[in-house]
Chain A
Amino acid sequence: MKKFVVKRLLISIVLLFFVSMIIYGIMRCMPASFVETKAMELSQKPGAKSYDEWLAQLNASYGLDDSIVKGYLTWASKAVRGQFGDSWNYNQPVLQKFSSVIWYSFALGLAAFLLEIIIAIPAGVAAAKKQYSLTDYSITVIALIGISLPSFFFATILKWIFAIKLNWLDLYGIVGRMHQQMSPAGQILDMAKHMIMPVATLTIVNIGALMRYTRTNMLEVLNSDYIRTARAKGLPEKKVINHHAFRNILIPIITLLGGTLPSLFGGALLTETLFQIPGIGYTSYQCIVLGDIPFVMFYMLFSAVLILTGNLIADILYAVVDPRVRVN
């Protein structure tokens, strides 16, 4: 087990090396004038260094004046030591900006994640219990609609109903206009209120996959011999489902959910942008549009790390939860 984890970690590091190289290569495709305009902009601020100085500094700090390989090595040697430079857009260290916005994303992701679990798993079990019943069909259709729903369209509908027609919620943002004047508890409630629509969007859009996954696994379990045995013993159906069947679908579900845990930090780029929640997704979106290379590099790398971690966790959990895998 330990050997397996160490091996996977080493592979992950190699992968990360190549991923960051590709990302760096793409970022280098960004027209050089981004740096030039940025240097021009920075030099025009009162009390700033001259244009040439800025240009040289920006180029040097990202190795843009070297060849791609050499430039990458320069960047990578700094990144390994945790130096990701200053965000051009926010004028502060990338890591500082990151730590100030990540918790919005985490709160949003966690709320949606919990809601998904609470709704999707019982619904999936209910659908599998009576295959081809009306419940099954409607849950399948709802799950498929959730998968097929463009999040921006659903978000717009939510906004139109709740923000414009009913006027219950605000269109954009994480805080209301009177946020500063509120008590600490009121401030938290205000933020929670602004999270309602983003969480709803994220939940609806993501819920379908988990629902279907639960249903498929439940169906498989219900077809197995030990369920037939349990029923033959004369156990009540409730006990068969809740004790014998449900425990067994936990293996694949925990594996899947464990794998998605890291992505809670990844932020939902589209949803955050739609509602202008100042999380990591929206921040990165703005940086991408404005060509803030240091921040985007960091965000892409961070996302890659999250994906790798997710895979690793899923594999480890698979072995932990299911003893049969460990034997092999």
Chain B
Amino acid sequence: MANEENTKADTMKLDDTQRVKVLSPSALVLKRFFRNKLAIVGMVIIIAMFLFAFVGGMVIPYGQSQVFYTTEEMKKDYAGATYINDYMMYEDKEAEVPGDLYSKAILAITKKQSVVETRNGGSLALRPLTGDSYLVYGADETKNPRAMKSAEHKAAVESGENYFEYDGTAYMVDSATGKELLYNVTEMAVICKLSFTPYNPDIAFSYEFYKNALLAMSGGGKDFEADGAAYTLGMEGEEAAMVYAADGSDYAYISNMNINSVVGGVNLAPDFKEMVAYAIREGKDSFEYTDAAGETDTYLLSEKTGQYLISRNQETRVIDTYSSPSKEHWLGTDANGMDLLARLMYGGRISLLIGFVVVIIEVIIGVIVGGTAGYFGGWVDNILMRVVDVIYCIPSMPLYLILGSIMDHYRASPTVRIYMLCVVMSIIGWVGIARIVRGQILSLREQEFMVAAEALGISVGRRIFKHLIPNVVPQLIVFATMGLGDVILAEAALSFLGLGIKYPAASWGSIINAVNDSYVMTNYLFVWVPAGFLILLTVLAFNFIGDGLRDAFDPKMKR
């Protein structure tokens, strides 16, 4: 190989054209451009940005306005428990009961009387059991000296009771008037501050069950009978008890607490109530309970002025806002639960597209106006340049803001906003290009090759666009490349102020917009930092390329 080249070189003459590698002007520019390291870095960044925005947007499985949800553990109230403060009355269905039984009985209890008169002239007698439970009897005053002297009476008085049975009849004594009176009594109702919860929702308790259960609780006995069935009582503290049926199965739960579900459509099971009562009695702040479906949950107990609240952590479906970067969302999610990486990609498309569209329109208008003004000169130049001056004088940022707020008012759709933004930015931006083109053409016009072109009879349009404009291209390319960065910056600033690209469309500026909330700025760096760096990198890359191009086109500046 090397030999072959050597022999070739030997055969060449000194003035052989192939000996000198001739490069076209554009190839020279390219060569100089690629020698510039910064420009290469810029090129690499821009290509990466395009891949990120356009290919990345296709690859990523999420859409730009796809909302993500997550399940979150939330503490939700489940049930409430309070001590029963009001007396509950369970009547004997078979007895004839006076209408004001309940109110009279309560009156008697508060006045600590054991016998009261009812409205219909009869009397009621109260037989206290333990706690706040009473048996209520209808009472008839009677005189029975034998009963008064009986051993049963004596035993009752000695144990402090006012009730005894003698000879198969129930009696009560009352000594409130100073003289001991004897009453013949019949059962009417029980009054207590207890609630009865059946295990099986079909069970309806009878009066006999209430009475005997209360008597058993009061007497401390364990077994009682009701309606021909035998039950066993398992006391739990002073005021709560479990009732087992004869076969040992759970039958009912008696408690001095009212425990109700605060969630609609849920009936609390007695064993749940038992757990609650137990936890309250033991002063615990949480307990575990396995429900009928076999699911075990931890319930939290909190107390506030005598009211107990039972809550549990429940999984709830919520929008996944500001979730930290994870496997599913590499850059986390934003305030609307949208994937930030996807939004950065789609936002990059818009930012880059706006940049290119605006610059292309600017170049077209600028070249036409600048070229015409420069070539014709005279009054055409004067008028066109005054137009340029007028537009140059209009402060651009306030103008964009005004148009943004006008579009806000008309509720323009995100797409319309993008188009409008492009149009307005190019209408304002072309004047710089027009000035450059005009200045160049003014000096080029006087050169010999233009005289030659005129002498050859080439048409005016051809002279401008074939002979003059190509000589302006270097400046145009440099200016346009740098202009791309400026347009992207301006669009980002507008979107940042909330007047440019709007939700649900994304742009890099509108993503950083989230920092207007100081909380986001402080705590969710992953929301705004990537977007900022993307803008910085892109604009920087365009400036690197523009710088490199300028150096490449204008080698006199170098060395």
Contact = CB atoms under 8 A, between A and B. Distances in A.
Contacts of A145: 536, 540
A145 B539 CA distance: 9
A307 B547 contact: no
B532 to A, nearest CB: 4
A33 B392 CA distance: 30
A140 B485 contact: no
A147 to B, nearest CB: 6
A127 to B, nearest CB: 13
Interface in B384-418: 386, 389-390, 392-395, 397-399, 401-403, 405-406, 409-410
A270 B543 contact: no
B493 interface: yes
A156 B521 contact: yes
A58 interface: no
A300 interface: yes
A226 interface: no
A273 B399 CA distance: 16
Interface in A165-186: 171
A220 B405 CA distance: 46
Contacts of A90: none
B528 interface: yes
Contacts of A29: 406
A22 interface: yes
A219 B557 contact: yes
A6 interface: no
A153 B38 contact: no
Given A152-B493, A153-B536, A159-B521, A303 B406 contact: no
Given A15-B393, A160-B522, A148 B386 contact: no
Contacts of A220: 557
Q: How large is the interface on A (under 10, 10 to 19, 20 to 34, 35 or more residues)?
A: 35 or more
A149 interface: yes
B393 A153 contact: no
B322 interface: no
Given A145-B536, A152-B493, A289-B405, A303 B398 contact: yes
Contacts of A19: 390, 393-394
A299 B398 contact: yes
A316 interface: no
Interface in B481-540: 485, 489, 492-493, 496-497, 509, 512, 515, 518, 521-522, 525, 528, 532, 535-536, 539-540
Contacts of B497: 270, 273, 285
Contacts of B410: 31
A4 to B, nearest CB: 16
Contact of B512 (A22, A152, A164): A152
Interface in A259-279: 266, 269-270, 273
Interface string A14-42: 11101100110011011101100000000
Q: How large is the interface on B (under 10, 10 to 19, 20 to 34, 35 or more residues)?
A: 35 or more
B544 interface: yes
Interface string A129-170: 000000001001100110111111100110110001000000
Q: Is the interface of B mostly helix, strand, loop or mixed?
A: helix
A216 interface: yes
A37 B259 CA distance: 56
A320 interface: no
A207 interface: no
Interface string B14-45: 00000000000000000000000010000000
Nearest to A291: B405
A87 interface: no
B389 A15 contact: yes
Contacts of B409: 30-31, 33-34, 291
Contacts of B397: 269-270
Contacts of B536: 145, 148-150, 153
Contact of A30 (B390, B406, B543): B406
- Looking at B393, B518, B525, the one whose CB has the most chain A CB atoms below 10 A away is B393
A167 to B, nearest CB: 11
A308 B393 contact: yes
A144 B550 CA distance: 14
Contacts of B402: 26-27, 30, 288, 296
24 contacts: A15-B386, A23-B394, A29-B406, A31-B406, A31-B410, A33-B409, A141-B38, A144-B543, A147-B543, A148-B540, A150-B489, A150-B493, A152-B493, A153-B528, A153-B536, A156-B512, A156-B532, A270-B397, A270-B493, A288-B401, A289-B405, A291-B405, A296-B402, A304-B395
Given A22-B390, A30-B409, A300-B398, 19 more contacts: A19-B394, A29-B406, A30-B405, A141-B38, A145-B540, A147-B543, A148-B540, A153-B535, A266-B395, A270-B493, A288-B401, A289-B401, A291-B409, A296-B402, A300-B394, A300-B395, A300-B399, A304-B393, A308-B393
For the complex of A and B, the 6 pairs showing the least CB-CB separation, nearest first, are: A153-B532, A303-B395, A148-B539, A148-B540, A304-B393, A288-B401
